[in-house]
């Protein structure tokens, strides 16, 4: 997933240096797919708010450790109100790799 492009040390957060290094190195190729573009936009928003992706997952996940569509949609629209319905659906499909209708921690990262 795109997050791994930024989180080089695998600690679940992205330092300013990791974020800048990924952008400067050209690791993020915005022409590849729409979902990575959206992830980049959201990662930037999360980073500006001083949050980690792990904290985002934990806020979204149910007691079973899975993110459901309604929670995903609601929080991501709060983070980035400019996302269209098709953007959200594209992002959801990219995360929900096994297509079971929920996102596990492994799929999220």
User: How confident is the model over 24-51, as pLDDT tens digits?
Assistant: 655 444 333 466 777 777 778 788 888 8
* Cα distance between residue 46 and residue 65, in whole Å: 20
Predicted model pTM: 0.59
Q: What is the DSSP string of the chain?
A: -HHHHH-TT-SSS--HHHHHHHHHHT---TTS-HHHHHHHHHHHHHHHTT--HHHHHHHH--TTSEEEHHHHHHHHHHH-TT--HHHHHHHHHHH-TT-SSEEEHHHH-
The confidence score (pLDDT) of residue 32 equals: 39
Q: What is the CA radius of gyration of the chain?
A: 13
Confidence of residue 23 (pLDDT cuts 50, 70, 90): low
């Amino acid at each position: 997933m795109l997050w791994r492009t930024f989180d080089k040390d695998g600690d679940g957060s992205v330092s300013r240096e990791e974020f800048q290094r990924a952008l400067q190195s050209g690791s993020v190729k915005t022409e590849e797919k729409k979902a990575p573009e959206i992830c980049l936009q959201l990662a930037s928003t999360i980073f500006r708010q001083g949050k980690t992706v792990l904290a985002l997952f934990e806020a979204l996940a149910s007691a079973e450790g899975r993110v459901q569509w309604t929670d995903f949609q609601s929080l991501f629209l709060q983070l980035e109100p400019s996302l269209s319905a098709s953007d959200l659906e594209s992002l959801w499909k990219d995360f929900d790799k096994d297509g079971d209708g929920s996102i596990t921690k492994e799929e999220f990262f």
